[in-house]
């Protein structure tokens, strides 16, 4: 799967190249021109300069360019990491001084040791590693593929670093190793490039493609950094957190066109309490350096301390904090893909965000607003180039202090000793009967470099209290939570075969942030409305996955006396649990459905991420389905092709109307229309089963006239708000859809729904719990949700409609509730 370059061979190759080079330049006083001539510019290879209007290099062109750089520059080495979801090569480009490139293995080993202070026994050794190491910087481009400019910028940046001879560049090359990811989603580069080229010169030029730019996740490809569902996150997590341990990670993005021109850190509030204060300070240092360099270079419209926060755990730029590294984000205002656009003062004046009253008003965090006018891809590219150089230069200049801080943070976690009743580890007890979920959870942890041990001998452990209270620093109570599973407090025997995750490890903060419940601070605007966080408020992974993982506060026997085995690869867990290792259809999991009903998953043209994740879950479980398009539903006679139709969560308007005729070419417009809605109704009345997730329930309730009401629909955010949290369900275990589910099951609620009915025909499968409702995250107006219907079956004619008020398959993470879906299909 991984095709590493043969390093000895390469070293030889590079050496001979250098030899050639030194022969070439002998007798010349100025070496720069000769070197510059030897290295192809992007222009020379592509036929245009990155950032030119209406020019877009696709993935083949980008990888070809980097292959040419690799061949011609002794500062550049391209590594193929593996294959993407749609089987394109994923690459990382190492750029540094020639002597660093020749000694990559040495620097990799230094990184590995600095990342794990337990491998360093003396101060002398530590000092030597810090003195000889290099600052390792990852710059990743265009994970969001419509934020396309950075992928083009990557070639220009690499070219300049490979060819320039100025003092700043040489300092960067000497002291830092850049690991450049030209795209964290190569499939998406081609999806966008194909679409952009097709629509160039048409009224649709510069529009986003009418499909997800990642096969399964679309924009959510940057919501996967602790779950590692996607091949791309798996490959990059291995590169970053199991091989290279970069001290600095810079993720280059674009935001909407009408806001600030460029966001850099510091971030907005609230910070995640598990992020080391030192990291937040360093992130701020980098951000202010970037902002100052951009200002010095004459760019307007740079903002800090706005819009984006560090609460949530799962993004490219937040994951580094849990590996003791600096994570930086920039967000440039978008053009129209690679076409220029014009932004008026009025548009700017109407755009606000947290930390920005409007995009025209100067403030301390936004001292020089951009006045509006033409905005070109080149403007974005130029700002990104300055920002990238700024990061590299700061990394290089303070190389030793970055390495020292990185080591010290790791050491602090390694030396963690819990206070009384504080967890020292989390346990995944053997024999829970959810082996696939356990294997997947341990696999996700191991995949991001967290140490997990298997107990080869039983031990006796004391568990924490069932109730966890959180106070803020002034003693105010923030929340009371039940711990993950109601384990009786006290000492219990833990059987051999259990897995244990200690907090005293370099990634202690990561363990804590994934296992403990999140308590999001109650943040309200001056008008009393909920202040929206950047992403979700709660994600506690074992809870989402339905895996019992209690906190351990004491272990009776000395741990050293008990045999523990470190898990190195996911498949070791599958072997332990006697699960199949062989892959079918890309996934080793056998289908949970005995007979094979004909399943259709609705797929409109509005690039619905929930639809993509639904396919992801079905593919993971080897459950066969067909994607059903608007035109298929408009044609009717659905029962001849399908037994079950699934509507992923989607707004009513997007389902019924789709894109308007002005917005997209005709084949991508229209939605179901009235005809499609009537056909869907006929499908159920004649005996079909329709399963709806979250928002699409509202569509069905309204258009198929169900005797059910969404009681949250009309509420203001001052009355009710829950932006991605885990809640408890009270499950009616007598209902076939609840078969195998616990009476108390955790479910994912993300601005979701809650139903009421007075009709006796509606069969309730689960309700939101009447007490201890919130398990992780933020829930404002809890009384509005308590006891309301969360999952129900509604008969219609000879068929049935299943209404999921919540998200049973959210981002492919909610293993706790997948079983409801399989039951709903087969019951």
Sign of CA dihedral 426, 427, 432, 433: positive
Sign of CA dihedral 330, 332, 334, 339: negative
Q: How far is the CB of 378 from Zn ion (least distance, A)?
A: 20
CA distance 159 to 413: 39
Residue among 196, 336, 195, 355 nearest 264 (CA) = 355
Q: How far is the CB of 142 from Zn ion (least distance, A)?
A: 9
Return the number of the residue (48 or 534) whose C-beta is nearest Zn ion: 534
Contact predicate 330/283, CB 8 Å = no
Query: Helices 399-414 and 377-397 sit at what angle, rounded to 10 degrees?
Result: 70
Q: Is 261 in the site for Zn ion (CB under 5 A)?
A: no
CA distance 326 to 778: 27
Complete edge-to-edge strand list for the sheet that includes strand 490-494 = 490-494, 459-463, 551-555, 425-428, 499-502, 453-455, 564-566
Contact predicate 319/222, CB 8 Å = no
The residue range among 165-173, 251-259, 524-532, 794-802 that interacts with Zn ion, by the rule CB under 5 A, is 251-259
Return the number of the residue (251 or 793) whose C-beta is nearest Zn ion: 251
Q: How far is the CB of 285 from Zn ion (least distance, A)?
A: 23
Return the number of the residue (213 or 806) whose C-beta is nearest Zn ion: 213
Return the number of the residue (359 or 427) whose C-beta is nearest Zn ion: 359
736 token code pair? 């076939």
Residue the block writes with tokens 């008008």: 527
Return the number of the residue (331 or 516) whose C-beta is nearest Zn ion: 331
Return the number of the residue (608 or 679) whose C-beta is nearest Zn ion: 608
Q: How far is the CB of 474 from Zn ion (least distance, A)?
A: 36
Site string for Zn ion, 749-778 (x = CB under 5 A): ------------------------------
604 token code pair? 């409109």
Site string for Zn ion, 203-242 (x = CB under 5 A): ----------------------------------------
Q: Which of residues 110-149 bind Zn ion (CB under 5 A)?
A: 144, 147
Q: How far is the CB of 180 from Zn ion (least distance, A)?
A: 18
Contact predicate 310/328, CB 8 Å = no
Contact predicate 555/813, CB 8 Å = no
Q: How many CA atoms lie within 13 A of 640 on its CB side?
A: 6
| 22 CB-near residues (< 8 Å, 6+ apart) | none
Return the number of the residue (138 or 452) whose C-beta is nearest Zn ion: 138
Q: How far is the CB of 600 from Zn ion (least distance, A)?
A: 31
Return the number of the residue (144 or 487) whose C-beta is nearest Zn ion: 144
Q: How far is the CB of 202 from Zn ion (least distance, A)?
A: 26
Q: How far is the CB of 329 from Zn ion (least distance, A)?
A: 9
Return the number of the residue (327 or 688) whose C-beta is nearest Zn ion: 327
Q: How far is the CB of 48 from Zn ion (least distance, A)?
A: 25
Residue among 504, 505, 467, 472 nearest 488 (CA) = 467
Q: How far is the CB of 144 from Zn ion (least distance, A)?
A: 4
Return the number of the residue (316 or 621) whose C-beta is nearest Zn ion: 316
Q: How far is the CB of 222 from Zn ion (least distance, A)?
A: 6
Pairing outcome for strands 302-303 and 262-263: parallel
Return the number of the residue (68 or 317) whose C-beta is nearest Zn ion: 317
Return the number of the residue (46 or 307) whose C-beta is nearest Zn ion: 307
Site string for Zn ion, 142-161 (x = CB under 5 A): --x--x--------------
Q: How far is the CB of 253 from Zn ion (least distance, A)?
A: 4
Q: How far is the CB of 603 from Zn ion (least distance, A)?
A: 23
60 token code pair? 């083949």
Q: How far, in Å, are 358, 424, 597, 684 from residue 625 at the CA level?
A: 47, 44, 9, 18
Three-state SS sequence of 634-651: HHCCHHHCCCEEEECCCC
Q: Is 412 exposed, middle or buried (0-12, 13-18, 19+ CB in 10 A)?
A: middle
Contact predicate 497/454, CB 8 Å = yes
Q: Is 253 in the site for Zn ion (CB under 5 A)?
A: yes
Residue among 761, 749, 747 nearest 820 (CA) = 747
Q: Is 735 in the site for Zn ion (CB under 5 A)?
A: no
Instruction: Please state the φ and ψ torsions of residue 403, each to the nearest 5 degrees.
Output: -65, -40
The residue range among 234-242, 248-256, 483-491, 612-620 that interacts with Zn ion, by the rule CB under 5 A, is 248-256
CA distance 16 to 400: 32
704 token code pair? 């198929």
Q: How far is the CB of 118 from Zn ion (least distance, A)?
A: 36
Question: With the CA atoms of 409, 177, 125 and 115 taken in that order, what torsion angle do they form, in degrees rounded to the nearest 10?
Answer: 30
Burial 653-679 (b: 16+ CB within 10 A, else e): ebbbbbbeeeebbeebbbbbeeebbbb
Q: Which residues, listed in sequence order, are joined to residue 601 by a DSSP beta bridge? A: 627, 646
Q: How far is the CB of 480 from Zn ion (least distance, A)?
A: 36
Return the number of the residue (245 or 375) whose C-beta is nearest Zn ion: 375
20 token code pair? 């050639």
CA distance 457 to 657: 60
| 512 CB-near residues (< 8 Å, 6+ apart) | 274, 423, 503
CA distance 539 to 725: 7
Return the number of the residue (308 or 321) whose C-beta is nearest Zn ion: 308
Longest dimension (CA), the chain: 95
Contact predicate 113/107, CB 8 Å = no
Residue the block writes with tokens 């129900």: 792
Contact predicate 696/655, CB 8 Å = yes
The residue range among 249-257, 559-567, 614-622, 816-824 that interacts with Zn ion, by the rule CB under 5 A, is 249-257
Q: How far is the CB of 220 from Zn ion (least distance, A)?
A: 11
Return the number of the residue (253 or 703) whose C-beta is nearest Zn ion: 253
Return the number of the residue (236 or 646) whose C-beta is nearest Zn ion: 236
Contact predicate 711/781, CB 8 Å = no
Q: How far is the CB of 150 from Zn ion (least distance, A)?
A: 10
Q: How many residues belong to the site for Zn ion (CB under 5 A)?
A: 3
The residue range among 59-67, 191-199, 252-260, 402-410 that interacts with Zn ion, by the rule CB under 5 A, is 252-260
The residue range among 247-255, 301-309, 556-564, 689-697 that interacts with Zn ion, by the rule CB under 5 A, is 247-255
Return the number of the residue (56 or 727) whose C-beta is nearest Zn ion: 56
Return the number of the residue (229 or 255) whose C-beta is nearest Zn ion: 255
Q: How far is the CB of 687 from Zn ion (least distance, A)?
A: 44
Q: Which residues bind Zn ion (CB under 5 A)?
A: 144, 147, 253
């Amino acid at each position: 799967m991984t095709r590493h370059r043969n390093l000895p061979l390469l070293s030889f190759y590079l050496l001979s190249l250098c030899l050639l080079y030194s022969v070439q330049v002998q007798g010349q006083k100025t070496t720069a021109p000769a070197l510059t001539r030897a290295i192809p510019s992007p222009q020379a290879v592509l036929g245009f300069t990155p950032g030119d209007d209406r020019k877009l290099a696709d993935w083949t062109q980008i990888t070809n360019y980097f292959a040419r750089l690799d061949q011609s520059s002794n500062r550049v080495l391209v590594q193929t990491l593996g294959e993407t979801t749609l089987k394109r090569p994923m690459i990382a480009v190492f750029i540094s001084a020639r002597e660093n490139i020749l000694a990559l293995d040495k620097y990799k080993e230094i990184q590995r040791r600095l990342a794990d202070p337990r491998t360093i026994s003396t101060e002398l050794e530590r000092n030597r590693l810090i003195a000889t190491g290099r600052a390792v910087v990852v710059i990743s481009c265009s994970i969001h593929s419509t934020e396309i400019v950075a992928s083009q910028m990557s070639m220009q940046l690499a070219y300049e670093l490979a060819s320039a001879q100025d003092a700043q560049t040489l300092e960067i090359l000497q002291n830092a190793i850049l690991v450049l990811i030209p795209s964290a989603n190569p499939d998406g580069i081609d999806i966008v490039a194909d679409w952009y080229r097709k629509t160039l010169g048409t009224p649709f030029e510069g529009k986003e493609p009418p499909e997800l730019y990642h096969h399964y996740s679309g924009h959510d490809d940057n919501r996967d950094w602790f779950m590692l569902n996607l091949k791309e996150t798996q490959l990059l997590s291995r590169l970053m957190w199991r091989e290279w341990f970069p001290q600095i990670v810079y993720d280059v993005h674009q935001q909407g066109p009408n806001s600030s021109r460029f966001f850099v850190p510091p971030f907005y509030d609230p910070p995640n309490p598990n992020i080391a204060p030192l990291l937040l300070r360093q992130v701020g240092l980098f951000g202010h350096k970037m902002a100052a360099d951009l200002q010095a270079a004459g760019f307007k419209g740079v903002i800090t301390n706005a819009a984006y926060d560090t609460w949530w755990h799962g993004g490219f730029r937040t994951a580094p904090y849990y590996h003791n590294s600096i994570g930086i984000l920039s967000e440039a205002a978008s053009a129209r893909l690679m076409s220029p656009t014009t932004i008026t003062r009025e548009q700017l004046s109407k755009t606000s965000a947290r930390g920005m009253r409007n995009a025209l008003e100067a403030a301390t965090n936004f001292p020089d607003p951009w006045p509006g006018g033409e905005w070109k891809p080149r403007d974005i590219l130029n700002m990104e180039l300055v920002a990238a150089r700024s990061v590299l230069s700061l990394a290089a200049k303070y190389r030793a202090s970055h390495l020292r801080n990185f080591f010290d943070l790791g050491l602090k976690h390694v030396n963690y000793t819990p206070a009384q009743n504080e967890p020292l580890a989390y346990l995944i007890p053997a024999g829970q009967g959810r082996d696939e979920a356990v294997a997947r959870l341990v696999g996700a942890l191991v995949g991001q470099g967290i140490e997990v041990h298997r107990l080869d001998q039983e031990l006796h452990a004391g568990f924490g209290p069932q109730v966890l209270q959180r106070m803020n620093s002034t003693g105010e109570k923030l929340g009371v939570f039940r711990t993950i599973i109601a384990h009786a407090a006290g000492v219990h025997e833990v059987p051999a075969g259990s897995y244990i995750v200690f907090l005293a490890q370099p990634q202690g903060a990561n363990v804590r942030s994934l296992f403990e419940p999140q308590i999001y601070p109650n943040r309200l605007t001056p008008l009393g409305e909920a202040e929206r966080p950047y992403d979700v408020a709660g994600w506690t992974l074992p809870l989402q996955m339905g895996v019992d993982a209690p906190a351990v506060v004491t272990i009776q026997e000395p741990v050293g006396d008990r045999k523990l085995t470190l898990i190195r690869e996911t498949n070791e867990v599958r072997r332990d649990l006697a699960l199949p290792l062989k892959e079918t259809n890309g996934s080793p999991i056998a289908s949970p459905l005995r007979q094979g009903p004909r399943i259709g998953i609705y797929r409109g043209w509005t690039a619905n991420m929930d639809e993509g994740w639904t396919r992801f879950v079905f593919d993971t479980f080897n459950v066969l389905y067909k994607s059903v398009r608007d035109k298929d539903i408009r044609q009717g006679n659905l029962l001849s092709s399908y037994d079950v139709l699934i509507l992923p969560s989607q707004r009513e308007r997007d389902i019924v109307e789709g894109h308007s005729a002005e917005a997209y070419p005709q084949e991508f417009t229209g939605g179901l229309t009235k005809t499609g809605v009537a056909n869907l109704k006929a499908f159920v009345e004649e005996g079909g089963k329709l399963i709806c997730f979250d928002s699409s329930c509202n569509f069905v309730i309204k258009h198929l006239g169900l005797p059910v009401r969404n009681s949250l629909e009309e509420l203001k955010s001052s009355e009710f708000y829950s932006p991605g949290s885990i809640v408890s369900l009270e499950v009616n275990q007598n209902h076939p859809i609840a078969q195998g589910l616990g009476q108390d099951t955790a479910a994912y609620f993300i601005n979701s729904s809650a139903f009421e009915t007075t009709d006796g025909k509606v069969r309730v499968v689960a309700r939101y719990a009447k007490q201890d409702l919130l398990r992780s995250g933020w829930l404002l107006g809890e009384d509005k949700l308590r006891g309301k219907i969360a999952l129900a079956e509604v008969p219609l004619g000879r068929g049935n409609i299943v209404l999921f008020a919540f998200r049973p398959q959210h981002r492919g993470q909610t293993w706790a509730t997948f079983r409801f879906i399989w039951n709903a299909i087969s019951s």
